[in-house]
Amino acid sequence: MENISCAKPFLKWAGGKKQLLIEFNKRLPNYLKENGSISRYVEPFVGGGAMFFYLKKHYIIKESILLDINRELVIAYKVIKNDHKSLVSILLDIEEDHLNMDEDGRKENYYKIRDVYNQELPGFDFSNYNKQWIERTSYLIFMNKTCFNGLFRQNKKGEFNVPFGLYKNPKICDVTNIELVNKALKDTEIICADFRASEMYIKQDTFVYMDPPYRPLTTTSNFTNYSKDGFNDFDQVNLASFFKKLDKKGAYLMLSNSDPKNEDINDNFFDKLYNGYNINRVKAKRNINRDASGRGIINELIVRNY
Ligand SMILES: C[S@@+](CC[C@H](N)C(=O)[O-])C[C@H]1O[C@@H](n2cnc3c(N)ncnc32)[C@H](O)[C@@H]1O
């Protein structure tokens, strides 16, 4: 199969699925593996898009619909789709300025840009495509490449609140990858919405991959709060109902989540929710907890309706 795209995620995103792609690939629907192509792919919780970019690299996808509730993320995808050259030009300037500074200067520069980013939030027009989106996306990418751990995290007001991170020579503008992402987004629609809005795009034979925010591994973990909106057990239950609804439509469905049995072997939350479907447990490195005790090998769940 000819590689049609080598794009990779342009942002580091909490819950990114890079390390699980091989396991997902083994479990793709047979028709996709045999034909090497699908007519429609839908990803309702796209985040950094590790699976989308992987599929674009190895298969032919005629059209894709990507959704996420995070407005900052969605405008970034749209800017790369519509205006990647202007974005690159702004980002290259930011990169040059930043890398010419000493450590204290870089720190000051980071907080200056973070302040501008947060101050323009009230009243920012996320609904209608406009030129301000390009600058905002350049700030988002800059902060993603220079903040602590490369995370995206917002406080309750929706402000970006990750501190400065120490990097020797951060690659702020990966021109080649931004160009590849731009190409990968051709024939792709990007929508800022709750996962339920994806229903109208899903029909028989559509392949759908769902990677919702993790159910917390421990009661103290707050890493499920990707956006100020959060995602709780009630949402997980609603998602399972949604999964059943899509199953009836004849779509091919794959869903991943962390396995609560990592913490409590008797926790059957997902086994009950997805009872009757194909549930696999695969090994993954836990790497989103900051403290060393949180690192280690854990199980990840893959649920499929085929
Ligand atoms: C686990 S992350 C997805 C990570 C992605 N698979 C990757 O490789 O980067 C979950 C995503 O779901 C989004 N999200 C949270 N609640 C949502 C909702 N109700 N509807 C749609 N997206 C939601 C978050 O903004 C986040 O980007």
Range of the domain at 114: 72-175
Whether residue 150 is found in the same domain as residue 49: no
Return the structure tokens found at 305.
Answer: 């309706």
- pLDDT for residue 156: 86
The rounded radius of gyration (Å) of the Cα atoms in the chain is 19
| Ligand 1, CB within 6 Å, residue ranges | 13, 15-17, 44-45, 47-51, 67-70, 194-195, 211-213, 226-227, 229, 231
Which CATH number belongs to the domain containing residue 294 in this structure? 3.40.50.150
pLDDT tens, residue by residue, 215-229: 875 554 444 444 455
Beta-ladder partners of 280: 302
Pocket residue to mutate for ligand 1, from 69, 71, 192, most atoms within 8 A of Cβ = 69
- Signed CA dihedral, 132, 121, 95, 289: sign only: negative
Inside any domain, residue 187 = no
Which CATH number belongs to the domain containing residue 85 in this structure? 1.10.1020.10
Whether residue 275 is found in the same domain as residue 141: no
Round to whole Å and give the CA distance between 13 and 54: 15
Inside any domain, residue 86 = yes
Round to whole Å and give the CA distance between 25 and 147: 31
What is the crossing angle of helices 71-99 and 132-146, to 10°?
70
Question: What's the pTM value of the predicted model, to 2 decimals?
Answer: 0.93
How many domains does the chain contain in total? 2
pLDDT tens, residue by residue, 13-39: 988 899 999 999 999 999 999 999 999
Whether residue 221 is found in the same domain as residue 171: no
Residue 250: left (phi > 0), alpha (psi -120 to 50), or beta?
left
Inside any domain, residue 185 = no
Whether residue 287 is found in the same domain as residue 246: yes
Whether residue 45 is found in the same domain as residue 82: no
Return the structure tokens found at 31.
Answer: 């028709």
